Amino acid sequence: MGVSNSYLSKAEVQRLLGVNAFGMWRLVRKYDDFPTPTEHPNLGGPFRGREPEEVWDGGQVSAWAAGTAEFTHRGAVLMRPLPEEFATGRWAGYKDTVRGPALDWRTALGVVRIVHCADRKAAADVATDITAKGNPDSVVTVCALYGDMGIRGPSLVAADTAHPGIEYEADWSDVAALAGQDLPWWPGTLRQAPLIRQWQPGSPAAVVEVPASTSEKTLRRAAGNDTFDVTARAAATDMANSIRNDRIDHTAHDIEIFCKDGYGENPNPVVAGAVPDTTRHPLPCDGDRQALKAGWHKLALSSHPDAVAALEIVIGREPELLPFGSVTEIPVQSGTISARWTSRLTMCDPTAAHAVLAQDDRAEAFFLDPLTDMPVLRTPREDGKQLWRFYAPLSPGRRRGTRFGRPAPHRVDHHQRRPRPPCALYTDRASVVGRRLG
Q: What is the pLDDT of residue 250?
A: 97
**Is the preceding omega at residue 282 within 30 degrees of 0, hence cis?**
yes
Domain end marker among 20, 55, 79: 79
Q: Is residue 21 part of a domain?
A: yes
Tell me the CB-side half-sphere exposure of residue 185, using CA atoms within 13 A.
Answer: 35
Do the bridges between strand 411-412 and strand 415-416 make them parallel or antiparallel, or are there none, so unpaired?
antiparallel
Q: Taking 90 as the threshold, does the pLDDT of residue 281 lie above it?
A: yes
Q: Is residue 420 part of a domain?
A: yes
413 or 265, higher pLDDT: 265
Q: Taking 50 as the threshold, does the pLDDT of residue 405 lie above it?
A: no
Whether residue 99 is found in the same domain as residue 180? yes
Q: Taking 70 as the threshold, does the pLDDT of residue 51 lie above it?
A: no
Q: How far apart are CA 304 and CA 310, in angstroms?
A: 10
Confidence of residue 2 (pLDDT cuts 50, 70, 90): low
Distances (CA, A) of 236 to 209, 255, 323, 338: 21, 29, 16, 35
| Torsions phi, psi for 367 (to 5 deg) | -140, 165
Q: Is residue 225 part of a domain?
A: no
Query: What is the biggest distance separating any 2 CA atoms in the chain, rounded to whole angstroms?
Result: 88
Domain end marker among 148, 163, 198: 198
Q: What is the pLDDT of residue 115?
A: 98
Domain end marker among 40, 59, 79: 79
- Averaged pLDDT of the chain: 86
Query: What is the number of domains present in the chain?
Result: 3
Confidence of residue 258 (pLDDT cuts 50, 70, 90): confident
Structural domain of residue 405, as residue ranges?
321-437
CA 285 to chain centre: 26
Tell me the CB-side half-sphere exposure of residue 18, using CA atoms within 13 A.
Answer: 8
- pLDDT tens digits, 155-185: 999 999 999 999 999 999 999 999 999 999 9
DSSP state of 178: H
CA 429 to chain centre: 23
Whether residue 73 is found in the same domain as residue 112? no
| Torsions phi, psi for 382 (to 5 deg) | -65, -30
Q: How far apart are CA 80 and CA 153, in angstroms?
A: 19
Whether residue 47 is found in the same domain as residue 110? no
Of 134, 146, 70, 81, the C-alpha closest to 109 is 81
Whether residue 95 is found in the same domain as residue 118? yes
State the pTM of this model: 0.80
Q: Is 134 left (phi over 0), alpha (psi -120 to 50) or beta?
A: left
360 or 231, higher pLDDT: 231
Q: What is the pLDDT of residue 42?
A: 63
Q: Taking 70 as the threshold, does the pLDDT of residue 436 lie above it?
A: no
- pLDDT tens digits, 283-313: 999 999 999 999 999 999 999 999 999 999 9
